[in-house]
A and B are shown apart, each in its own frame.
Chain A
């Protein structure tokens, strides 16, 4: 059974650009959540999607957005990139929503560097 797949694994963008990251969950999983990991802030919850609906969003500006498709695949988008957006972006999937306590499985992450 394939794990959580994130693409691209590495990318470099310049300030002001926008970026879209993709996440394919484990087959059968309907919840996808996104996290940002930086040395200074640690791991922070971005948002969660379950059955194509955003269930909750962390404390991030509106430049960070996401969506989930009917096949549970998810994308997150960051517009007007800032240097501080450089981070490892992790996607995770689970059978049910996070609040159910289902185990979440993480992908390898997408390394974003903003220059």
Chain B
């Protein structure tokens, strides 16, 4: 079945440590790929997106993500986490397919230890 998965429900890291959030998708074609962040009680903010071209994408707040076609993955990374990064992170795909539109992964909650 077509899906977007984020294997980690909750991740806890220490401030200053590196971070990697995983995202995998299962679709026949390469979709447009996004990472969004949601702070408590807030809407979603776009961190970065991948459409085509360079597979390493830079985003806001020091985040980057790498698209790996062979692994159907689009993992989000940050070299040094700040306490303000604590939030829920959603991977999403948009499909060039009238019947699918926008699909979100289940989300990964990030906690940051001081």
Interface size of B in residues (CB-CB distance below 8 Å): 25
Q: Is A66 at the interface (CB under 8 A from chain B)?
A: no
Q: Is A106 at the interface (CB under 8 A from chain B)?
A: yes
B10-49: contact bitstring with A at CB < 8 Å (1 yes, 0 no)? 0000000000000000000000101010000011111001
For B98, the chain A residues whose CB sits under 8 A away are 55-56, 99
- Closest-CB distance, B67 to chain A (whole angstroms): 14
User: B102 touching A98 by the CB < 8 A rule?
Assistant: yes
| Interface size bracket, A side | 20 to 34
- A23–B106 alpha-carbon span in the complex (Å): 24
Q: Which residue of A lies closest to B97 (CB)?
A: A99
User: B101 touching A98 by the CB < 8 A rule?
Assistant: yes
- A113–B99 alpha-carbon span in the complex (Å): 30
Greatest chain B CB density within 10 A among A45, A56, A99 is at A99
Cross-interface CB contact of A107 among B43, B94, B102, cutoff 8 Å: B43
For A90, the chain B residues whose CB sits under 8 A away are 43-44
User: B107 touching A42 by the CB < 8 A rule?
Assistant: yes
Q: Which residue of A lies closest to B106 (CB)?
A: A42
User: B43 touching A56 by the CB < 8 A rule?
Assistant: no
Instruction: Sample 29 A-B pairs with CB under 8 A, ordered by A number.
Output: A33-B102, A35-B102, A35-B104, A42-B105, A43-B90, A44-B104, A45-B102, A45-B104, A48-B101, A56-B98, A90-B43, A90-B44, A98-B94, A98-B102, A99-B95, A99-B96, A99-B97, A99-B101, A101-B32, A101-B51, A101-B94, A103-B46, A103-B49, A104-B46, A104-B102, A106-B36, A106-B45, A108-B42, A108-B43
Q: A residues within 8 Å of B by Cβ?
A: 4, 33, 35, 42-45, 48, 55-56, 90, 92, 98-101, 103-109
